[in-house]
Amino acid sequence: MSQSDDSSRPTWSPSLKPSPQICPRTFCFHFQPAGSRVAPGLHENVDAALKQALPISEDQCGCSFGVCTRLDALKGDRDWYEPNEPELERAGLPWSFFMAGR
């Protein structure tokens, strides 16, 4: 891993697998970036969901299953990482890049 022009965003090398304790942020399906909107729960249709969508002011984990151990090793109940394949593909990374034990 190295730092990109934006010092808060690392650049990943496909040949150097990261620690499974690192939160992959945009490469995780649960990640919600600042400026996006989310409509938690189930909705009758897309229009109903869009009416309920709330703005996200800060980057955050949106996992509704529990606390991910990648965010909090002590309070987390398990590793909830789920690959965001389109983001991984855009970055030239394999789908299993951030998965533990692969």
The whole-number pLDDT of residue 1 equals 44
The whole-number pLDDT of residue 40 equals 87
**pLDDT tens-digit profile of 45-90?**
999 999 999 999 999 999 999 999 999 999 999 999 999 999 999 9
The whole-number pLDDT of residue 6 equals 46
Give the number of domains in the chain: 1
Q: Which domain holds residue 86?
A: 21-94
Q: How confident is the model at residue 102 (pLDDT cuts 50, 70, 90)?
A: low
CA distance 73 to 13: 25
Domain-embedded: residue 4: no
CA distance 12 to 61: 20
Domain-embedded: residue 85: yes
CA distances from 37 to 40, 60, 78, 93 (A): 10, 12, 26, 26
68 burial level (CB within 10 Å; 0-12, 13-18, 19+): buried
Domain-embedded: residue 2: no
Angle at 93 between CA 88 and CA 97, to 5 degrees: 90
